[in-house]
Structures are given as C-alpha cells and as structure tokens.
Amino acid sequence: MSEHPDIKIKILREAEMLFMKYGFKSITMDDVARELGISKKTLYLYFEDKNDLVNQTMLQHLEDQKVSCQNIETLKLDPISYMLNISDSLSTQLRQINPGVLYDLKKYFKSSWDNFVEFKTNFVYQNVLNNLETGQSKGYYQKDIDVKLIASLYVHLIDFLVSPTGFQNEHKTFRELHFEIMKYHLRAICTEKGLKILNEKIKNN
C-alpha cells in the first residue's frame, strides 16, 4: 500500500485536534487510528512512531500559521490593522488549546518544542520587524524606536502568554489577553496618525 498525501494531511489535521484538546502525552497511536477509523497499520505507513506523528503535526500546524500570515499580507492592510488581524488569527487558532498541551510538548517532545521555539524567535520576530519598519516608513510608528529591540520584546510577551508556565487569567479568554498585549504593544510605538487608526479599531472590536 503506497502513501497518499490527502490521507496524510487528514491524519495530521485529526491528530492536531486530538493533541490540542487532550495533550500530546495522553493521546496514543491507538486513539488516533480509532478516531480516524483506520487501522494502526495504515497509520504506521505514514508515521514511524508517535514522536514522528507529533513532530509532523507540529510542523504542519506552524506551516498553517505561516500561510495565515501570508493570506493577511495579501489584504494590503495598514501596519496597525495587519497586526490586529494577525492577533485575531492567532487567537482563533489557539483558543481551543488545552493549557497542558505546551507543557507536554516542552517536557516530552523536545524536537517539536524546538520547532515551536524556532517559529517564534525567527518567523514571528521577522514579521513583527517587517511590520515595524513598514510602519515607521509610512508614519504610523515613531521614528526613534529601536525596531529590533521592540520586535524582540513583542516575541517575549507572546512567549510569556503561550508558555506552559506563562500568564493565566480565569476572567479573560486567550483572545482577550492577546488583544490586551497587542494594544499595549501598539500604543507604546504609534504616532498620532497610528493612534487614530488603533483607537478606531479598538472602538469597533
């Protein structure tokens, strides 16, 4: 029996839903096969073992996030609207995550955790840096800010929010917390021109 790319993607999508809901450690290959209605033999045709399944699931998840960012870029938004759209997109993807998921990932699946960290420290950082430079050139962000430092600070704020030992607030959803961080970030760097757009977006949120 040969591999079929559509089947593999379906397995990755279903596995991601299970992992995000129940955690990476507790879900077994038996669970994934049963949920998909396939045999373990079919599952092992596409993945060597559970570690391989977790790793490929995370890589697919991160690739999906990159595609979401690229799709938002095609909208040709102003820099502030772009960041708010990114925030909303990320929050939508992460809101169903069980709080223990990232703890599992960090403790039991180092390779996958390293890929997650690389995504934050490289892809997210570069996107924020590009946004800052564009915003400066168009007069939305202050000229005297250190864009590389601000991009790093933003990544650390998000890292704190999503890390296994990060900030928890039972009165706010992940989306609300992320939106507060985004407002904090943007208010600190916007010019008057930028603040007008930001305040309008906040009012309509």
- For domain 59-204, is the CATH number 1.10.357.10? yes
Residue 67: burial class (beta carbons within 10 Å; 0-12, 13-18, 19+): exposed
**pLDDT tier at 58, thresholds 50, 70, 90:** very high
As a whole number of angstroms, the distance between CA 134 and CA 170 comes to: 36
pTM for this prediction? 0.83
| pLDDT digit string, tens, across residues 134-187 | 999 999 999 999 999 999 998 888 777 766 555 555 666 777 888 888 899 999
Q: Decide if 80 contacts 160 (C-beta within 8 A).
A: no
Highest mean pLDDT of the ranges 24-28, 112-116, 131-135, 181-185:
131-135
Which residue would you say has higher pLDDT here, 166 or 51? 51
**pLDDT tier at 93, thresholds 50, 70, 90:** low
Nearest to residue 125, comparing CAs of 151, 157, 159?
151
Residue 19: burial class (beta carbons within 10 Å; 0-12, 13-18, 19+): buried
Q: State the DSSP code for 49.
A: S
As a whole number of angstroms, the distance between CA 34 and CA 80 comes to: 45
Mean pLDDT throughout 93-102? 68
Mean pLDDT throughout 68-80? 91
Nearest to residue 180, comparing CAs of 202, 148, 204, 147?
202
**pLDDT tier at 1, thresholds 50, 70, 90:** very low
Q: Decide if 81 contacts 201 (C-beta within 8 A).
A: yes
Which residue would you say has higher pLDDT here, 99 or 2? 99
Query: Could you state, in order of their start, the residue ranges of all structural domains in the chain?
Result: 59-204
